[in-house]
Amino acid sequence: MNQETSIVGALESKQPTISIEFFPPKTEEGARQILKTAGALQPYGISFASVTYGAGGSTRERTVEYGKLLQQLFHYRVVPHLTCVGHSRTEMAATVDGLVAAGFSGVMALRGDPPHGDTVFRPAEDGLAHASELVALIRERHGRKLAIGVAGYPCKHPEAPDADTDLRWLAHKVNQGADFITTQLFFDNTVYFSFVARCRAVGITVPILPGILPLLSLEQARKFTGTTGAGALPPALEAKLGACGDDALAAREAGVEWAFDQVRELLEGGAPGFHLYILNRAKSALALFTKLREAGLTENKAPV
């Protein structure tokens, strides 16, 4: 593990920050898989592990339960995600108090998506309307006890009328006390570099961790680019995955190669590290970490 004791310390250290994202499983098989993956990746210098919060607030208990397991069994620094969906301000405050009491290192403060089929987010009665309000609530109650991460969208949040408006709200969210931004996944690094430049131009100075997903198939690539606001699929990536046909192993290797090239260019271009969407699977992440180590890319951040 990165030797720094806190997430902010890890973000400021000379080593690249590596975070990995788990989701709380629903089945026994899923439970076995997350623990196996967590154990397999633990020796790879992970700065922190985050655990997602189900749509509609559906996994509140399991997010915390698996976060605690990752802390206790594997000594990860853990950052549970938390959304405002369906909770009043009082409930949000109690949940945040619980995260501090459980000894978590940080929290990913999110608004959450509107329920399936709705295009407009409606806060719960007496609830929070934006992630920025959650950031403010956490800082108000607990000072700097928790590191706070917030979401950033290099290709613009789907609900935002335009990129500049979205950026203005992102700056507001950070100003409420966020320590870092993790981006939505993307496959074309130019969108990250231009996003960082635009963030810096409006005075956002916190580290911006690029979100990387090692793809497993062309079908998966199309699903993610269609639904998550990940931006267009670069033609070269489409061709690379397309050339693998039905060969799942070849497609996984192609996904790792693309992710490796992305991470190498990002780190060399001054990214402070990267956030890996691992979908609770170990194989692609292990292959990627091994390649990064062999290339000496996990030792020192590039000067910016």
Ligand X SMILES: Cc1cc2nc3c(=O)[nH]c(=O)nc-3n(C[C@H](O)[C@H](O)[C@H](O)COP(=O)(O)OP(=O)(O)OC[C@H]3O[C@@H](n4cnc5c(N)ncnc54)[C@H](O)[C@@H]3O)c2cc1C
- Alpha-carbon distances, residue 182 vs 107, 150, 212 (angstroms): 12, 6, 10
The site string for ligand X over 157-176 (x = CB under 6 A, - otherwise) reads x-xx-----x--x---x---
Whether the CB-CB separation of 199 and 167 falls below 8 Å is answered with yes
What is the CA angle 42-45-46, rounded to 5? 70
Of the ranges 31-39, 97-105, 129-137, 200-208, which one interacts with ligand X (CB under 6 A)?
129-137
Q: Please confirm, yes or no, whether 4 is among the known catalytic residues.
A: no
Kindly state whether residue 151 participates in binding ligand X, applying the rule CB under 6 A.
yes
Say if residue 25 is exposed, middle or buried (CB neighbours under 10 Å; 0-12, 13-18, 19+). middle
- Residue 52 is a binding residue for ligand X (CB under 6 A): yes
Stretch that binds ligand X, among 29-37, 48-56, 200-208, 295-303 (CB under 6 A): 48-56
Q: Which of 12, 65, 113, 188 binds ligand X (CB under 6 A)?
A: 113
Query: Does residue 87 touch ligand X according to CB under 6 A?
Result: no
- Check binding of 55 to ligand X (CB under 6 A): yes
Distance CA 236, CA 191 (A): 16
- Closest CB 248 distance from ligand X, rounded Å: 27
Give the residues lining the site for ligand X (CB under 6 A).
Answer: 52-53, 55, 81, 83, 108, 110-113, 130-132, 151, 157, 159-160, 166, 169, 173, 182, 184, 211
Residues tagged active-site: 21
